[in-house]
Amino acid sequence: MSQQGYVAAPPYSQAQAGMGGYSAGFGNPPPQSHYGAYGSPPQGYSAPPTGVLKPPASSPSGMPPPPVSSQYGANIQQNGAHPHSFPPPVASAPSMSPYGQPPQSAFHSMAQAPPPTQQLTNQMSAMNIGGYGQRPMQVPQSPSSSAAPQQYQTSPPLAMGHPLLFLPGQQPSSLGSPPPMATMGSMAAPPMGMSGPPRPGVHQPPLGPQGYPQQPGSPISGPYGAQMAGPQSGAFPGGFPGGPAQMAGPPQKKLDPDSIPSTTQVIEDDQAKRGGQVYVTNIRGQVPPLVTTDFTVQDQGNASPRFMRCTTYSFPSTADLAKQCKVPLAAIIKPFATVPKNETPLYIVNHGETGPIRCNRCKAYMCPYMQFIDGGRRYQCGFCSCVNEVPVQYFQHLDHMGRRMDLYERPELSLGSYEFIATLDYCKNNKPPNPPAYIFMIDVSYNNIKSGLVKLICEELKTLLDRLPKEEGAETSPIKVGFVTYNKILHFYNVKSALAQPQMMVVSDVAEMFVPLLDGFLVNFQESRAVVNNLLDQIPDMFADTNESETVFAPVIQAGVEALKAAECSGKLFIFHSSIPTAEAPGKLKNRDDRKLVGTEKEKTLFQPQRGVYEQLTKDCVAQGCCVDLFLFPNQFVDIATMGDVPSHTSGSIYKYSNFQVEVNGPQFVSDLRRDVEKSIGFDAIMRVRTGTGFRATDFFGAIYMNNTTDVEMAAVDCDKAVTVEFKHDDTLSEESGAVMQCALLYTTIGGQRRLRIHNLSLNCSSQLSELYKSCETDALINFFAKSAYRAMLTQPLKTVREILVNQMAHMLACYRKSCASPSAASQVSDTLHIHNCSDNSSVIIVFQQMSLPVLDNAHSRKIHSIISSISQQRATSMKLLIVKQKDQSEMLFRQHLVEDKGLHGGASYMDFLCYVHREIRQLLT
């Protein structure tokens, strides 16, 4: 983790050709001439008929109507349009005309609505950061004089989309020289980009010699405000140094709690302003609503924010400007994000045996940023500017605007997201893939039998296997299933449909793992339903009297990989495990829970996985397209750092249920298992992120594996997995043409078809810091910082990681205050939310999670169940509901989660943290 607060990128290099059995065609091409004919000899692959596969007829909406103009830049017009200005299209209600047809209704444009504002302060508090640095904190006195807040002089106002944590008492000004800044005052601050009348009790400081606010009692007046006192001794117990009891200086005025920014208020404000609206993606650099806001996306040339979000939608033009602002440049890509039912599903494009059209030089796929020229016979790549010949079969004339006549008949020319059907060139060893398999591997040791877990799993699988993922419109799932039970040896089961009873085969030599049978192990559930259900009925009884408590783990994963290899398919392993593997076998682990290391320089070793066997297992899994999902049920220490290493690098998930009890944890586990089995998924995936000239992808975060510096390998990719990509400058970016990026995901569908899913996004570029800050997106920033901090924990002490995070935040805000901020009035904070105050028509969301609650016939009961249901639908995993009574023993545990209050042992409160960050900023400025 660098001193800027995030991990430094490794040296950039080109992709390695022929990686993982794929042809080099997916990676970077060899050097080619600037002009050249594109295309390769026809392949012998029997592809479906050429054309566009439409969504099912029941789809609520078809393709969007043609926009009158594109917003991709003056020189990069959508498919060659001339650089003229046209009124933006108007967005529609969910019902739209069929694809390629003229619009049938008026559409409302969101182009005129500036994005709302919010603060990173509000959401950073939810990260529960403690130990915030070395310097003690002082709260400056509140000046008594007041001044009118400064209003914006530009139109439209510089409304910040989702800004960074703002410095209390400031607000961005119009472009130009930095305006005066306020001092701390009484923590008065609205979101950046907003202003309003002063509130009672909120004071503005008098101006100093240079027109900047002067704080009474300050020893030194710096160029950006009064300098605060130097470092003090002492520390918050469990928090950052310099607790309230040890603050030096004259008596301080108590800060007004109502002036503190509120996360809840920001979320509710964004929902009120942008909720229920249609977000049209035809505008370059448009900041989307918050992830918590309910909105509808209409794809008109840029990928939906459900698929791609950026930390800022206006990239700095130069590397020096990026270094100055300290804002990380990154994109969070969720390629398989769930598309709501009221939005159009992705269109599928089939270019036949010739495959997708690509740029000869950079290999970017055909998209709306390509500009057609020379009467349609050539096109200029929007990423590398290479001029390519248009293949004969893809030729189309241009209209008087320079756009192709079939612009709105081809998804790849008018949409931000779509899919190509891949040819044999994109398949391993040039062979079409087989449908994937799910293998359920159940730990039948003493703990799992005694707790009733094994019986619960077997009962649930009987109904769950009927709900395996399937292709759109298909009646049954093509996914095959297999079953393994194990303790310190492994049991494989033959469940072939022709058998009257399932057959068990035991493998006791776990040092050299092999699969004892091929035919009958992986079967179609519908065909073998009777045999499978018979097996699931017998498993709990077979091991009912077991006393075996030792287990193996690495051989279990190896067995699953070998089974998929033998079947020549990809797939997923569902492993239900209870204890640390102590049996004599490869991957045996020992207890290394050394509490004495906590808080020391060696604390990081507790989070580092043990390498060797598990490192090789990861490589084997990724190469085979084998995703591992681990369900853990520990009663004591388990080495999750090591056992979870394979799932975390194969795009798998880890679920943990400590001290499992069927009555207490059963519903939570069953809910997680159902969602994990049913969710949409792709297998054996490789992702490449291409960018326009001037910047490039340098680092990647997520449940991924990387064999080189450019290709992101994922054994599987589902609707919950996101990859965070960091970018760096190579050269100066053009403000006129902006910045473009394309995510290309090559994967295998559950039906065994190889496809390419494409997501495109265009951003603004600016040399003005104010433009960058007002285009920041808080959700993406928090995602980036959380993932970079998670990675840094493996190499640095937690205390250092916390300090770097706060230091990065302080640098960002100091730069913002120096370049963009001006005095402003206080922001409004909402009151606390209480369940007993909920009215029937309220839309409040609380922090309680799902569990079994009695359903009573009254409005209060219905409201609480509605709230719990709403929260459950927003989460990828289920959480159990804990009802806490006042003065109950569990109240102490509950209070630890109130991140805005002081900790039980004197830790910093939310307000203390804001004051500390404010002081850090002042130190940087002076």
How do residues 518-531 score in pLDDT, each as one tens digit? 899 999 999 999 99
Report residue 265's pLDDT band, with 50, 70 and 90 as the boundaries: confident
4-8, 548-552, 864-868 — which is least confidently predicted? 4-8
CATH number at residue 371: 2.30.30.380
Domain end point (choices 631, 657, 679):
679
Q: Would the pLDDT of 607 be above 80?
A: yes
3-state secondary structure of 35: strand
- Contact between 849 and 881 (Cβ < 8 Å): yes
| Together in a domain, 443 and 406 | no
The residue with greater pLDDT, 536 or 919, is 536
The pLDDT score that the predictor gives to residue 626 is 97
3-state secondary structure of 225: strand
- Provide CB contacts within 8 A for 856, sequence distance 6+: none
| Together in a domain, 511 and 564 | yes
Q: Is 759 contained in some domain?
A: no
Domain that includes residue 408, residue range: 349-414
Provide mean pLDDT across the span 216-228: 33
The whole-angstrom distance between residue 873's C-alpha and the CA centroid of its chain comes to 17
95 by Cβ neighbours in 10 Å (0-12 / 13-18 / 19+) ranks as: exposed
Dist. CA 82–CA 541, nearest whole Å = 74
- Provide CB contacts within 8 A for 433, sequence distance 6+: 427, 569, 570, 684, 748, 752, 753, 754
Share of the chain above pLDDT 90, in %: 53
DSSP 321: H
| Together in a domain, 516 and 599 | yes
For 804-824, the pLDDT digits (tens) are: 999 999 999 999 988 887 654
Q: Is 483 contained in some domain?
A: yes
- Amino acid making up residue 752: G
The pLDDT score that the predictor gives to residue 46 is 42
Q: Is 500 contained in some domain?
A: yes
The pLDDT score that the predictor gives to residue 145 is 37
| Together in a domain, 371 and 486 | no
3-state secondary structure of 223: coil
Reference 293, options 309, 312, 310, 272; nearest CA is 272
- Amino acid making up residue 756: L
Provide mean pLDDT across the span 264-273: 91
212-216, 481-485, 568-572, 889-893 — which is least confidently predicted? 212-216
| Together in a domain, 448 and 383 | no
Average pLDDT, the chain: 75
Report residue 610's pLDDT band, with 50, 70 and 90 as the boundaries: confident
Dist. CA 375–CA 381, nearest whole Å = 16
Helix (H) or strand (E) run with residue 784 in it: helix 778-792
Q: Is 216 contained in some domain?
A: no
| Together in a domain, 565 and 607 | yes
Q: Is 527 contained in some domain?
A: yes
Reference 423, options 714, 685, 746; nearest CA is 746
Report residue 257's pLDDT band, with 50, 70 and 90 as the boundaries: low
The pLDDT score that the predictor gives to residue 906 is 59
Return the exposure string of 393-404: e unless at least 16 CB atoms fall within 10 Å of the residue's CB, then b: ebebebeebbbb
For 340-352, the pLDDT digits (tens) are: 999 999 999 999 9
DSSP 873: H
Report residue 879's pLDDT band, with 50, 70 and 90 as the boundaries: confident
| Together in a domain, 440 and 400 | no
Domain end point (choices 679, 709, 724):
679
Helix (H) or strand (E) run with residue 759 in it: strand 754-766
210 by Cβ neighbours in 10 Å (0-12 / 13-18 / 19+) ranks as: exposed
CATH number at residue 581: 3.40.50.410
Report residue 910's pLDDT band, with 50, 70 and 90 as the boundaries: confident
Say how many CA atoms lie within 13 Å of 33 toward its Cβ: 5
| Together in a domain, 494 and 577 | yes
Q: Is 803 contained in some domain?
A: no
Lookup: tokens for 436: 């994937």
Q: Would the pLDDT of 792 be above 80?
A: yes
180-184, 213-217, 857-861 — which is least confidently predicted? 180-184
Dist. CA 227–CA 250, nearest whole Å = 15
Provide mean pLDDT across the span 484-492: 95
Q: Would the pLDDT of 210 be above 80?
A: no
Provide mean pLDDT across the span 881-903: 74
| Together in a domain, 459 and 390 | no
The residue with greater pLDDT, 423 or 263, is 423
Lookup: tokens for 636: 């004591």
The pLDDT score that the predictor gives to residue 258 is 66
Dist. CA 881–CA 570, nearest whole Å = 37
**626-632 and 654-656 beta bridge pairing:** parallel
Q: Is 167 contained in some domain?
A: no
DSSP 530: H
- Contact between 488 and 583 (Cβ < 8 Å): yes
Report residue 68's pLDDT band, with 50, 70 and 90 as the boundaries: very low
The residue with greater pLDDT, 44 or 360, is 360
Report residue 114's pLDDT band, with 50, 70 and 90 as the boundaries: very low
| Together in a domain, 358 and 500 | no
Q: Is 494 contained in some domain?
A: yes
Domain end point (choices 650, 679, 708):
679
For 134-155, the pLDDT digits (tens) are: 333 333 343 333 333 333 333 3
| Together in a domain, 443 and 358 | no
| Together in a domain, 488 and 357 | no
The pLDDT score that the predictor gives to residue 634 is 94
What residues form DSSP beta bridges with 654? 630
| Domains contained in the chain, number | 3
**In Å, what is the CA distance from 334 to each residue of 337, 675, 844?**
5, 18, 28
Report residue 862's pLDDT band, with 50, 70 and 90 as the boundaries: confident
- Contact between 920 and 812 (Cβ < 8 Å): no
